[in-house]
Amino acid sequence: MIPLDRATVDALAVRASVDAETRAALAELVDTVLTQSAVARDTQEALAALETRDAAVVAVSSLPAERTLGPRAPLWHLLLALLEMVDGDARHARSGIDPSITSATWGDMGLWSAHFRERHATLGITLEVLDWSQRYLRGDLLRVGLLQWDLRSFAGCAHGFRHRGTGQIRWLARPGVSFSCGGRRYLERGGPRIAVEPDAREAVGTTNADFVEGHPIDTLAGAADLNRLDRLRRPDWDLVVSPETVMMEMHIPSDAGLDLREIVASARAAAALFQRLRPGVVPAGVFGEAWLLDPQVRALLPHHSQLAAFQTACALLPGQIPEAKTVRRLFGPDATRAKVVAAPRAAMSSLQRAAAGFLDDPAQVLCAAGGVLLHDGLDALERSLARG
């Protein structure tokens, strides 16, 4: 059993770069856990659920402590994540992961804690962020330099084909995947329909020995054209990206800029690390999905030249992150589109005011996009940066 006392929790919080105010509140919460048997029981049950991976956060949300702690529930979520670091440390040590990478990875908890404290006057993290933290606390995701990385099968909505003669890459929507928002948002096959997005349509396509046919993806707009079918001759085009293709998945921490040189350096360092951790597994490139990659965001951040450059370097594909999640990221854990539109703008940041103005138009939807850089694209970007 993980030791649960003020000193242990504070040491973990320091390593995760949690701020002093939140650490003081955590110390008081530890006293509550130690003196209230029901909360102590729920804490141990929550940690056991998180270790099983199966519907872990749903299990945590159903525990009585989630309700009885009231406004301190987010602090409890952070406590659970910190306590998971103990097993996480052991996993990293067994894998020979450099302690500096371990520290940088755990620092994500401090970033989220600061985000909620500074922007929303909340101490701790949401259940949604606790769920996200399992990606790195279980050892799957690591922060290497600027960005966070995971090695996994491609999770996008399209197949990528390379022309054997020219090397050109074409992207076609995967048949059976549903798209909405003018082709800019997608749902996995068999996923729930989006009731508020009545334009959702399912992609179709044909594959045989002679050709492959499917809806083309506009990689500048990050949108599938469901009104058109393109046909590629199989002798001329190789399938290079499919759901089975192993890629390095990229995530952008809240304190990371989008400096292209640092992005390339981070990708190279992560590739070398994964080569050691997973010998024989060769990723085809990098991909990631983020609200920052939505081409519409360029208009909200017109002076962010690095964002525009990064979007241009990537092939942009439709994203799966719902608008509601982006709204919560920008405006707070209880924010909804309706609340944002009705809220006074004076206290908002410039980005929030721009996003709120965008949401004023009911016809517009914030859609995260997926960015893909295959290895030759990453090489080309690196050469371009070297030329200055």
Instruction: Report the pLDDT value the prediction gives residue 55, as an integer from 0 to 100.
Output: 62
Q: Among residues of the chain, what percentage have pLDDT more than 70?
A: 96
pLDDT tens, position by position, 7-31: 999 999 999 999 999 999 999 999 9
**318-352 pLDDT, tens digit each:** 999 989 999 998 898 889 999 999 999 998 988 89
54 confidence band (pLDDT: 50, 70, 90)? low
pLDDT exceeds cutoff 90 at 2: no
pLDDT at 156 over 90: no
Q: Are 328 and 335 in contact (CB under 8 A)?
A: yes
Q: Please give the backbone phi and psi of residue 310, each rounded to the nearest 5 degrees, phi first.
A: -70, -45
Alpha-carbon torsion, ordered 81, 135, 94, 144, to 10 deg: -110
> How large is the average pLDDT for residues 102-108?
97
pLDDT at 195: 45
User: How sure is the predictor about 243, in pLDDT bands with cuts at 50, 70 and 90?
Assistant: very high
The per-residue pLDDT for 15 is 97
Position 114 scores a pLDDT of 95
Residue-wise pLDDT for 355-372, tens only, equals 999 999 998 999 899 999
Residues 286 and 186: beta-carbon distance below 8 Å: no
For the chain, the domains span: 6-138, 158-241
For 328, counting Cβ atoms within 10 Å of its Cβ (0-12 exposed, 13-18 middle, 19+ buried), the class is: middle
Q: How far is 149 from 145, CA to CA, in rounded Å?
A: 10
Q: For all residues of the chain together, what is the average pLDDT?
A: 91
Handedness of CA 365, 196, 324, 177 (dihedral sign): negative
Q: Is 344 exposed, middle or buried (0-12, 13-18, 19+ CB in 10 A)?
A: exposed
| Dist. CA 25–CA 17, nearest whole Å | 15
Contact 127, 77 (CB under 8 A): yes
pLDDT computed for residue 257 by the predictor: 79
Question: Among 91-105, 149-163, 167-181, 292-306, which is the least confidently predicted range?
Answer: 292-306
Q: Which pLDDT score, from 0 to 100, does residue 194 have?
A: 46
Work out the average pLDDT over 138-155: 94
196 compared with 118, residue with greater pLDDT? 118
Q: Which string of DSSP letters, residue by residue, matches 296-354?
A: THHHHSTT-HHHHHHHHHSEEEEB-S-HHHHHHHHH-TT--HHHHHHS-STTS-HHHHH
**pLDDT for position 298:** 85
